[in-house]
Structure 1
């Protein structure tokens, strides 16, 4: 079965508390506070809309957020309060220079090949107006390289048992893993994944080669610098003019 869809939703939602979502949405609100309207801002890979629903309700992006998600189940389960469409990051269904901003959270960009990453960044650049804001969050390469092997087993609140093993290869930048979710009734959901992570210097090169200029790099929601203890890599960039 596909890693994204029911398995992904049921195994990640228990860890995404309202408090966590609120802090992440607050960060995004600050990141886009100076982005003038009325052009919309798109949540790329919006999932069930935990960020988009909040941002579209109040704050600087109120009434301006659109969700884009490929997985039909995630869209069916999405929170109310924002428009969303089904679409692929590799072929964004927006006109050229029609958006004021875009963001992608929770390593949404990691699930593609190197060539697809370049194509996706070019697609984001295409749909953003000159000076448009682009923000994405992922896991720092150095954090994964320092602890390349991971395994855990946990019982979720609904009684399901979640098991996962993964191994990060710094030479390829690939985190390969397998996740299994077993319900109390014995139903088993299982899938493998392969996620691509880049060192910051490589991200900068990718962005600059696809039409962006990096504006900031943060190592967490507090806005501090990226360092060896950082749990996040958050990059803010702008679509270059011309």
Structure 2
């Protein structure tokens, strides 16, 4: 089965608090509030729309958000308040130069091969207008390298058992994991996934190679600089003119 479907949705939502969502939405609103480029802003991999629904309702991006998601179940269960399209990140259904901005949370863009990541970022660049803004959220490479193996087993509020094991290969920059979700009725969902984590210098180089100029790097939602203990790595970039 596809990992980024029901398994991901059912095993992730219980860990996302209202407070966390509010802080992330506030961060995104602040980082786009001075955007001068006209046009829509797309939530790449919007899931059930916890960011998009709020950003499209109030604040500087009200009425400008479009969600994009491949998983049909997530779109079916998405929150009201924003339009969304079902599409693959690697083939965006937008006209060239039609978007003012885009954002992607939780390493959404980096679940493919290195070659596909180049093509994907170029596809985003194709859709953005010059000066359009891209915000990427991921996890610092150094944090994973310091703790390359992890596992956990926990009960979710509905009684389901969630189990996961992961191992980070620092040489390849890939975190590979398996997840298993056992529902109270005995139904089981299981799958594997891999996420590519780039050292910051490599990520900046990748963005530059695909037409972007870095504007800022933050290690958290307060806008603090990244450090060896940061839990987040958030990069803001703009599409270069010409």
Tell whether the structures are fold-level matches, with TM greater than 0.5: yes
SS of equivalent to 2:51: helix
2:10, 2:79 → 1: CA distance?
15
- Alignment match, 1:221: 221
Aligned length: 242
2:109, 2:143 → 1: CA distance?
17
User: Residue 90 of structure 1 contacts residue 120 of structure 1 at CA under 8 Å; is this kept in 2?
Assistant: yes
SS of equivalent to 1:109: coil
- Alignment match, 1:13: 13
User: Residue 90 of structure 2 contacts residue 119 of structure 2 at CA under 8 Å; is this kept in 1?
Assistant: yes
Cα drift, residue 132 of structure 1: 0.5
Cα drift, residue 99 of structure 1: 0.6
SS of equivalent to 2:48: coil
- Alignment match, 2:113: 113
Q: Does 1:62 align with 2:67?
A: no
SS of equivalent to 1:13: helix
User: Residue 102 of structure 1 contacts residue 134 of structure 1 at CA under 8 Å; is this kept in 2?
Assistant: yes
1:134, 1:25 → 2: CA distance?
15
1:83, 1:146 → 2: CA distance?
40
1:38, 1:142 → 2: CA distance?
37
User: Residue 164 of structure 1 contacts residue 177 of structure 1 at CA under 8 Å; is this kept in 2?
Assistant: yes
Cα drift, residue 37 of structure 1: 5.6
User: Residue 150 of structure 1 contacts residue 165 of structure 1 at CA under 8 Å; is this kept in 2?
Assistant: yes
- Alignment match, 1:205: 205
Cα drift, residue 31 of structure 1: 0.5
**CA distances 1:83-128 after superposition (whole Å, capped 9, x unpaired):** 0000111111111111110000011012110000000110111111
- Alignment match, 1:192: 192
2:180, 2:56 → 1: CA distance?
34
C-alpha RMSD over aligned residues: 0.7
1:51, 1:158 → 2: CA distance?
24
Correspondences of 1:137-148 after superposition (within 5 Å): 137-148=137-148
**CA distances 1:126-162 after superposition (whole Å, capped 9, x unpaired):** 1110001100100110000000000000100000010
1:127, 1:179 → 2: CA distance?
34
Cα drift, residue 38 of structure 1: 4.0
User: Residue 48 of structure 1 contacts residue 77 of structure 1 at CA under 8 Å; is this kept in 2?
Assistant: yes
- Alignment match, 1:102: 102
1:109, 1:144 → 2: CA distance?
18
Alignment gaps of 5+ in structure 2: none
